[in-house]
Structure 1
Amino acid sequence: MVRRKGDGSTLDLFTDWEPPKVAVRFEDDARVRADNVAERISRMVAEVLRDADMSRGDIAGAMGDFMGKPVSKAMLDAYAGQARGDHNISLARAIALVAVTKDARVIGSELEPLGLAVVPKRDLHGLRHLAWSERSRKAQAMADAEYQLWKGLA
């Protein structure tokens, strides 16, 4: 019997595909592991700054523009330094950092242990669609059960 050659252009859903990541968070927890929340946030700020396509000075300037008050590079350095445990980024400045870098991992990673998630707005309607579809499926099952009782089939 002749064995057919595999189709190399067809995606194998069980080996070649990974579902998209919907929640915004740090995927590698080792990069941001720390002894306490303040140190972990400092490490996350450092990672966001490191991964950004802008210099810290440019990020600080843009954050200042966003907030309407100055933010210096030295402040960002302090927020990103674990040694400065008394100098943590405020929520307002964290929001400005997200707005400037378009990187919400700091917020998403801290909310996850609380049972919450940050998702991109483009995915929100898809999640709502799934919730409504599930609710619709349950309502249809209840309607079908009532129909069975009504017709004396149950």
Structure 2
Amino acid sequence: MIELVASEVEHIDTFIEMEQESDTEHFIIPYTRSQHLAQMRQTHTLYLSIFCEGRLSGFFILVKALTGDVEFRRVVIAKKHRGIGQQAIKEMALYCKVHLGAKRIWLDVFATNSRGIHVYRKLGYHQFGVSQHRGKQLILMEKHI
């Protein structure tokens, strides 16, 4: 069972460990402890910890825009290939709709992250554009909820 709860500052060190895993670090831009703390303090930024069977298993970083859209900035899952990420993303979309009043969730994903793109498409996200970050192509995807 997946449960999403507001993250605690005490979770940051675990988040950093998760971000540094070899099967994760190539698909995100890892944050330092101070960057995570600064992001957590932002008014429109929400960190959600993902618990699976009572254990901290990952986290989301979400940013709510004034338009009501939610930027799905990051998801990191500690143990991959168990379906935890897909179930957590479904729960996150429901959370955004119910608790944040969102109508649209959008994200960017490195074009080289074929596994991520596959999962997002499977969960109903569609490409709406492309962008660049430090010379790497990003695919912009969205889902209306």
Give the TM-score taking structure 2 as reference length. 0.29
TM-score by length of 1: 0.28
Structure of greater relative contact order (alpha carbons < 8 Å, 6+ residues apart): 1
**Who wins on radius of gyration, i.e. which is larger?**
1
